[in-house]
Structure formats: structure tokens, C-alpha cells
Structure 1
Amino acid sequence: KMLAIANYEIIDTQTKELACKTVGDGAMAEPIEIFWHCAKALLRDEFWSNRRVIVTGGATVEKIDDVRYLSNFSSGKMASAMAAALYCRGADVNLISTKFDKDLPLDLYTIKVESSDEMLEYLKDSIRIAKKGKLSKATLMRDEQIHLIQKKPYLFMAAAVSDYIPSYAQIGKLKKESLGDEWNLKLKQNVDILNSIDKSDIVTVGFKAEMDEKNAVINALKMIENKGVDAVCLNILKDSSSFGTDTNKIDFILKDKKESIPLNDKLTVAFEILEHAKNL
């Protein structure tokens, strides 16, 4: 208690089987959890510290029936890396995703979703909460008064949302006997999440995957113009094997310039993205 009063950070013990063969609270925290707390203490950045940040990730799952769905190859690894980097920088992170890396910090706030409708619902609520602001203290030496400063929230939209979804999701399992030799699955255009949210008073960074290298930057600029985002993280893919890798290469696209982040592991790339995003 005295250490906590003196602003030492305490890493909580965990509940599991103890040396006396009973189960209770008192076991040492997992080494990975100790690592994350140390990383946050060492890597904290005043810009991101206590700033509310939302990250979306993973491929949305759109049900055809109760056993089949439409989706894509996105692994959610880049979103998890972004959330981990923000956690280390001291941000108040909310990760909304369909998939998560297994070694994320335990006290990083996550929301598990599946469909694009579910993601949109939780995202709208999260944006509303983030805009209420988290106040941080700043001291003015002139009059020694403590003022509360509200930091503008950020949104990193790294989710791979399905462009089309089944027009009519079915209850139960569709049988091939009733479908026949051919199955014409009717699809409709999905909701555009980026165009459906209120992006006022929140800095928004979109993520875009392209395979057409020639027109990739042009398409990223169109995304900035048409969807009202502040910047785009452009990822140029070779083919489907590019998904799920542990490395990434990003072009950070602004209206008037392109800043390249070279190939590296995704956590390192995430830290680089945060440095570029600080200037928005």
C-alpha cells in the first residue's frame, strides 16, 4: 500500500494452484504480463499517455446460415500490434476485433465481435465514450494551478470489413438436397462502417490493402477524400499468402505526401505508425 501511494506500479498476482496445492490468489504473474508492464513503464509517451484510442481489426464474419459464413483472409495481427504498441505508449486502448493475438496484455480492453453490424454497434458506442474524453493533469508553473487537459481521441480502423454480405441469412443448416446441383447465393452491398460513424472530433486513420500496385496510392487518396479520414495506412499485397504474416510494410498516406515505413515485424511497424500519427 505504501509503494502504491508512492506511485509505484503494482503487478497483480494471479489466482491458480499454489505451492500448498490449494487454489487462491497469490501466484506470481505470468512472465509475459510482467514484460508488458515493464514495457509500458519504459516506453510511455506523453502524447499517447491516457489518450483514448480505438483500434478495430480482423475479418468480419457474415453468416450464410448457422454453419457457413463469408469472410476474408485478414488475421487481425496488425490490429493487435497497434493495440499493443498503444498500450506500451500509455494510451487508454479499446481493441474491437474478430481475432486477437494470444499474448496481448491482460489489462488491455478488448471487445470480441463477429459481423460487421456487431462491429459497427460497438464502434459507435466506443467513439461516443472516447469523445467524452479522458482528462490528464498538466501543471502551469506560473500560478501553480493544476489544469485538466482533454486529449483528442484516435481511431485506427484496421478491420477488414466484408464488402458484400448474404441478402438473407438462414436459420439452421441449408441442405444440399434442397439447394440442388447449383447454388446461386444472393449478396447485397454491406454497410460502409467508415462512412457510418461520426468522425468529428476524433483523428481517424484508415487501413487499406491493395493488390493493384499501380493505382494503390490513388485509391488511398480517394479513401481520404471520400471517407473523410485523416490518413491511410496502405498495405500492398502480392497475393493471399501475404495475409497472416508476422511482418508488414506500410505507406502512410496523407493528402499531400506519402511516408514509407519499411518492412519489419508488425509491432515495430505499429510503433512507426504511431510516430507518424502524432502529427495529424
Structure 2
Amino acid sequence: MTLQGKKIVLGISGGIAAYKTPDLVRKLVAQGAQVRVILNQSGGHFVSELSLQAVSGFPVSTDLLDPSAEAAMGHIELAKWADILLIAPATANTMAKLAHGIADDLLTTVYLATSATVCIAPAMNQQMWKAKPTQHNLRLLRSYETHILGPADGAQACGDIGPGRMLEPEKIVECLSSILNKPQPLRGKRLLITAGPTRESLDPVRFLSNHSSGKMGFAIAEQARSLGAEVTLIAGPVALPTPAGVTRINVESAGQMLETVMAKVNSQDIFIATAAVADYRAENVADNKIKKNADELTLTFVKNPDILKTVAGLPKPPFCVGFAAESQDVEAYAKRKLADKKLDMIAANDITVAGLGFNSDANALQVFWPEGHCDLPAQPKTELALALLNVVIERYQEKNDTLSL
């Protein structure tokens, strides 16, 4: 893999990791890339313009309105020139500006003005990385098709240990090469994905639901789209941005999800059911709010239709992948669901493991199919989604090769 002939604008913001950027530029140039550098005011405290100019072979840009640029519109020149906009290091402050479209310096203005592939390498204190606003901004950036490189985990300049270190220059170069040369094995395939919880009304005020955040399903949708698939995402009530390029349909109840799935499924190649669909619903939904009149309240529930089993039971079903969130005997329950529902694959996770699963940004999966299984270790859900899709692609291709014999 090579960066030969690629035009890269490297934006440097004000983190201690900026001292590594001359080496990063040198490695990019060694791969055949042309590199032009934007150094913001804070970044200039950690690395010099002269050193960056020496390794890149181009003057370093610092000013939004540069008198030496054509018509003093340097941000437009750089934005149009770039094949790739790489921001490394990307501080929490810079990420926040990018996520919310704030263009108050040359770097953030080029970001808004470019149609180039955008990659950022975060670098910050581990607690700043974990902070809810940063994680919210990260989700927004991913929804804009921004490639997030890292961060790495380890010792930090402040003495803390944890996630937030900028990836090393050689790793960043490797990531860029992978992105630019990424195969699209799902090109021409249609994927239908369900995600999040469902809500089953009890009255106009109350409902039954569960703790599913939808993060796993949304991560799968995002990664499937990046692998070339045409993705339709049927989402229960979750507060997540729609992945770029994905068609999203919002639903509330299990009945609505089933109806929407059945309206779409016949044209799909692969169906991945990550949604935590309610097993039961109230037999009768009260027209008015149920009043607190007694110490006990008895409600009658009826079973909801099994969406995944319904799809797998079609005369010509798509390749069906189920999910099982279990608190005990994970493998036994997963294998039983695999057989009972006649699925092609099932991905199971243990919900009792702290820090993984519901409402977490990480998970681990045990994946089963009729002829075997594999384990996908704990990792961020975005990376886990890609690992799972690689297994799905392999099994899907093997099944279709068998059917064509």
C-alpha cells in the first residue's frame, strides 16, 4: 500500500504530541505523498514552522487570510488542493470545533471548505478523552464520515495512564494507506439492520423498554456502509446520529419494527438483527393514564412476534445474523437460538461483564454458526463491528458459493 502522488494537508493543533509531526511529515513524504502543513497558534508552541517547512518542502500556513495567497484566500486553495486532510494531533478543543462547524482559524476553515477525505488523530488527557462532551463530539464526527485514528492507550505527558495518546507516526501512515486502499467487499450488497430498544405502551404515559443504546447496531451500519453496502437501519428510540450514507427509519414498538422490516426485507442480501426487541407487550393499552389506586397493579402481557425468526422462516430469506445478550450459559443459549430460529449466524455477549454491552462504547462477542464459532475480544464497538462484518462476509460468501455448486 502506498500514498504515492497523494496530496495531504496536515493540520497541527496545540498538543504536546505536535513534537512528533516533523517525523510524521517525513514518513508521509517517504511514501510518495506531497504534504502541506497548517500550524495553528497553539500548535506553534510545540513545534517550529522552520522544521516543518524543511521536511515538507512547502511553506507552512498559519493565517486564515494570508496576503501571499491567491486573493488572500489560502483556505480555499488548500481545501481544493487536498486529497486528504489529516489533523494530528487533534485536541479536544479542535474536535469540538470540527464537530460543531466552528471555523475561527485556518485549520477549521479548511476543514469546512474541503471535500477531501478527513482523518483525525486525537491526542489529549485520558479523562478529557472519556468526558461525555468529547465522546458526543466523536460520534458527531463519525457521522460526518470522519476517520478517527486512535487514540492509543498508555502513559501520558501529564503522568496519567489511559486512552488519549496520539498514534505513533508510522501507525498513522499505515492507517492512511489502509483507508485509501480499503477494499469494499460489500459493494452491490444490501444490508438491513435493526438497532436499539423497542417501547411497548402501557398507557399514554408509561411504556416497557430495556437498556439497549443502539450503539452496536449503529456501528455495524457505519462500518457496512464503509465496506460498500447499501444500508437501511431500522432504529428504535435512541439518541444517536445517523451514520453517513445510511438510510434510517425510526420506529417505536416491536409491531412497528416487524412491519417495517417485512416491507424491506425481500430486497435485502443480509439481515442483521441487533435490536433488543421486547418479548412481550400489554394485552390492552389503557386509553388514559393508569391511576395509582391500589397497592398492587396486575397487567396481562402477550407475546410479541419474533422478528428474526419470521425473517429467517421466509421462503427465500436473506443471510440472517442474530444477537443474543445473555446473563448466564451464554454459549448454550446462543446455540439454541441459532438452531431454533434457523439462523446463519448469531453473535452473543455476556451482559454481566462490567464495562461491556448495554450503554457501553465497548463489547466482546462469541459468534456461532452451524459449523463452528469464533471469539471477538473486548474492543470499541466501532472496531468490533468491523471484525464481526468480516466474519459475516466470509460466511455469506461461503454459503453462496455452496448454493451455486
State TM-score, norm by structure 2: 0.52
Counterpart residue number, 1:117: 255
Change (3 A) 1:199 1:221: farther
Higher RCO (CA < 8 A, seq sep 6+): 1
Change (3 A) 1:40 1:49: farther
Structure 1 residue 45: Cα displacement? 3.3
> Match of 1:196, SS?
helix
Counterpart residue number, 2:276: 160
Query: Hey, what's the Cα distance between the residues in 2 that align with 1:182 and 1:245?
Result: 34
1:87-141 Cα shifts (integer Å, max 9, x gaps): 11111000001145634434310000010000000001110232xxxxxxxxxxx
Query: Hey, what's the Cα distance between the residues in 1 that align with 2:187 and 2:177?
Result: 13
Q: CA RMSD in A?
A: 2.9
> Match of 1:248, SS?
strand
User: Pick from 324, 334, 343: which aligns with 1:220?
Assistant: 334
The residue type paired with residue 185 of structure 1 is: L
Structure 1 residue 44: Cα displacement? 4.9
Counterpart residue number, 2:371: 256
User: Pick from 164, 188, 193: which aligns with 2:307?
Assistant: 193
Counterpart residue number, 1:108: 246
Query: Hey, what's the Cα distance between the residues in 1 that align with 2:295 and 2:263?
Result: 44
Query: Hey, what's the Cα distance between the residues in 2 that align with 1:41 and 1:106?
Result: 16
1:175 equivalent to 2:287? Answer: no
Query: Hey, what's the Cα distance between the residues in 2 that align with 1:34 and 1:191?
Result: 35
CA contact (8 A) 1:210 1:234 kept: yes
Change (3 A) 1:106 1:270: closer
User: Pick from 213, 223, 227: which aligns with 1:89?
Assistant: 227
Per residue, is there more strand in 1 or in 2?
1
CA contact (8 A) 1:73 1:244 kept: yes
The residue type paired with residue 384 of structure 2 is: V
> Match of 1:218, SS?
helix
Change (3 A) 1:208 1:176: same
Larger Rg: 2
Counterpart residue number, 1:205: 321
> Match of 1:207, SS?
strand
Counterpart residue number, 1:54: 192
Query: Hey, what's the Cα distance between the residues in 1 that align with 2:353 and 2:219?
Result: 22
CA contact (8 A) 1:64 1:169 kept: yes
Change (3 A) 1:105 1:160: closer
CA contact (8 A) 1:80 1:101 kept: no
In structure 1, list runs of 5 or more residues that go unmatched.
1-7, 9-15, 17-26, 131-152
> Match of 2:265, SS?
helix
Change (3 A) 1:239 1:46: closer
Change (3 A) 1:246 1:43: farther
Query: Hey, what's the Cα distance between the residues in 1 that align with 2:374 and 2:227?
Result: 21
CA contact (8 A) 2:362 2:378 kept: yes
Query: Hey, what's the Cα distance between the residues in 2 that align with 1:125 and 1:260?
Result: 33
User: Pick from 269, 275, 279: which aligns with 2:390?
Assistant: 275
In structure 2, list runs of 5 or more residues that go unmatched.
1-82, 84-100, 102-111, 119-140, 148-175, 396-405
Query: Hey, what's the Cα distance between the residues in 1 that align with 2:351 and 2:302?
Result: 26
The residue type paired with residue 235 of structure 1 is: N
> Match of 1:279, SS?
helix
Query: Hey, what's the Cα distance between the residues in 2 that align with 1:199 and 1:35?
Result: 40
Larger displacement relative to structure 2 (60-69 or 218-227): 218-227
Query: Hey, what's the Cα distance between the residues in 2 that align with 1:50 and 1:99?
Result: 29
